[in-house]
Chains A and B, each alone.
Chain A
Amino acid sequence: MATRKRAARRSPAEAVSPKSGPARAKRARRSGGAVVAVTGAFGFLGRHLLRRLEGDPAVDRVVAVDVRSGAALLDDDTVAADLMTRHPKLSAHILDLTAPGADRELAGILAAEQVTSLFHLAFLSSPTHHLEMAHELETVGTHYVLNAAAAAAVDHVLSVSSTMCYGARPDNPAYLTEDAPLRPPPSRALRDRADADEQVRRFAAEHDDVAVVVARLGALLPTARDHFWTRLLSRPLVPTVLGYDPLLQFLHPDDAIAALLHLWRTSARGVFNVVGQGVLPLSHVLTRLRRLPLLLPAGLGQSLAATLWRAQLVEMPQHFFGYLRWGWLADDARLRATGFVPQHDLPTLLTILERAPPVRAGRDERPDVHAPAVHAPAVPSGGPTPPETP
Chain B
Amino acid sequence: MTTTFDAFGKDPALLEALAPRLDALLDQWFRVALEGAEHLPAGGRALLVANHGGALPWDAVVLIAALARAGRQVRPLVEDGVMTAPFLGTFLNRVGCVRASQDNATRLLDRGEACLVFPEGMLGLAKTWRRRHQLQRFGRGGFVRLALRTDTPLLPVAVVGAEETAPLLGRIEALGRLFADGLPYLPITPTFPWLGPLGLLPLPARWHIRIGAPIDARAVVRDEGDAVAVNDLAGVVRDRIQRDVVDLVARRGSAWW
Instruction: Say yes or no: A170 contacts B8, CB within 8 Å.
Output: no
What is the CA–CA distance of A152 and B80 in the complex, to the nearest angstrom? 50
**B103 neighbours in A (Cβ, 8 Å):** 173-175
B87, CB-defined interface residue at 8 Å? yes
Q: Which residues 152-200 of A have a CB within 8 angstroms of B? A: 170-171, 173-175
How far is it, in angstroms, between the C-alpha of A284 and the C-alpha of B14 when the chains are bound?
13
Asked whether any CB of chain A lies closer than 8 Å to the CB of B5, the reply is yes
> Binding site of B, secondary structure by majority: helix, strand, loop or mixed?
loop
Question: When chains A and B are docked, how far (Å) is the Cα of A245 from the Cα of B92?
Answer: 12
Contact A245 B7 (CB under 8 A): no
Binary flags per residue of A287-314, CB closer than 8 Å to B gives 1, else 0: 1100000000011000000000000000
Let me know if A279 is at the binding interface, CB within 8 A. Answer: yes
Q: Could you say which residues of chain B place their CB within 8 Å of the CB of A203? A: none
Docked Cα-Cα span, A332 to B227, in Å, equals 33
Q: Which of A171, A174, A244, A298 contacts B90 (CB 8 A)?
A: A244
Q: A233-263 vs B: 1/0 string, CB under 8 Å?
A: 0000000011111010000000000000000
B86 A280 Cβ-Cβ under 8 A: no
Q: Are B90 and A288 in contact (CB under 8 A)?
A: no
Residue-wise interface mask of B (96-107) relative to A, using a CB-CB cutoff of 8 A (1 in contact, 0 not): 001101011001
**Most B CB atoms within 10 A — which of A173, A247, A287?**
A173
Inter-subunit contact A243/B9 (CB<8 Å): no
Q: Would you give the shortest CB distance from A277 to chain B, in whole angstroms?
A: 10
Q: Which residue of A lies closest to B85 (CB)?
A: A243
* A281 CB within 8 Å of chain B: yes
The reply to whether A284 and B3 contact each other, CB–CB distance below 8 Å, is yes
Q: Among the listed A170, A241, A247, A288, which residue makes an inter-chain contact with B9, where contact means beta carbons less than 8 Å apart?
A: A247
Complex Cα gap A280–B3 (Å): 9
Q: What mask results when residues 73 to 89 of chain A are scored 1 for a CB within 8 Å of chain B, else 0?
A: 00000000000000000
Evaluate contact between A299 and B5: CB separation under 8 angstroms.
no
The answer to whether B84 touches A288 (Cβ under 8 A) is: no
B1 touches A288 (CB 8 A): yes
A242 touches B86 (CB 8 A): yes
> A264 CA to B158 CA in the complex, in Å?
54
- A243 and B90 in contact, given A171-B80, A174-B107 (Cβ under 8 angstroms): yes
Are B104 and A174 in contact, CB atoms less than 8 angstroms apart?
yes
Kindly identify, within residues 88 to 134 of chain B, every residue whose CB is under 8 Å from any CB belonging to chain A: 89-90, 94, 98-99, 101, 103-104, 107
B90 and A170 contact, CB distance less than 8 A: no
Q: Interface residues of A, CB < 8 Å — how many? A: 19
Chain A nearest Cβ from B3, distance in angstroms: 6
A243–B104 CB distance below 8 A: no
Complex: A173 Cα to B107 Cα, angstroms = 10
Q: Which residues of B contact A174 (CB under 8 A)?
A: 7-9, 98-99, 103-104, 107
**Do residues B98 and A281 form an inter-chain contact, with CB atoms below 8 A?**
no
Residues of B within 8 A of A287 (CB): 1
In the assembled complex, the Cα of A241 lies from the Cα of B103 at a distance in Å of 26
- Is A175 a contact of B86 with CB atoms below 8 Å? no
How many whole Å from A291's CB to the nearest CB in chain B? 14
A281 engages B86 (CB within 8 Å): no
Within residues 55 to 89 of chain B, which ones have a CB less than 8 A from any CB in chain A? 80, 84-87, 89
Offer 30 A-B interface pairs, CB within 8 angstroms, sorted by A.
A170-B80, A170-B182, A171-B80, A171-B99, A173-B101, A173-B107, A174-B99, A174-B103, A174-B104, A174-B107, A175-B7, A175-B103, A175-B107, A241-B86, A242-B86, A243-B86, A243-B87, A243-B89, A243-B90, A244-B86, A247-B5, A247-B9, A280-B3, A280-B5, A281-B9, A281-B94, A284-B3, A284-B5, A287-B1, A299-B181
- 14 further A-B pairs in the complex, CB-CB below 8 A; given A174-B104, A244-B89, A288-B1: A173-B104, A173-B107, A174-B107, A243-B86, A243-B87, A243-B89, A244-B90, A247-B9, A279-B5, A279-B7, A281-B94, A284-B3, A284-B5, A299-B181
Q: What 8 pairs between A and B have smallest CB-CB spacing?
A: A243-B86, A173-B103, A243-B87, A170-B84, A245-B90, A174-B104, A247-B9, A298-B181
The residues of B with any CB-CB pair to A shorter than 8 Å are 1, 3, 5, 7-9, 80, 84-87, 89-90, 94, 98-99, 101, 103-104, 107, 180-182
By a beta-carbon cutoff of 8 Å, the part of chain A in contact with chain B is: 170-171, 173-175, 241-245, 247, 279-281, 284, 287-288, 298-299
